[in-house]
Structure 1
Amino acid sequence: MKNDRLNHAGYLRAFAALTAPPGAKARYRRRRDNAGDWHAAAQRNLFNRMPGQLYHCLKNRQLFDEQIAFPTPQELAVAAA
Structure 2
Amino acid sequence: MVEAGGPRHGASGAVEIRRAGPGDGDALGEIHAAAWQAAYAPFFEPGFAAHAVADRRTRWHRRVAEEAGEAGGVASGA
- TM-score range for the pair, normalised by the shorter chain length: 0.3 to 0.5
**Larger-gyration structure (1/2):** 2
Higher relative contact order (CA 8 A, sep 6+): 2
With structure 1 as the length reference, what TM-score do the two structures score?
A: 0.36
Q: Which structure features the higher share of strand residues?
A: 2
Q: Which structure features the higher share of helix residues?
A: 1
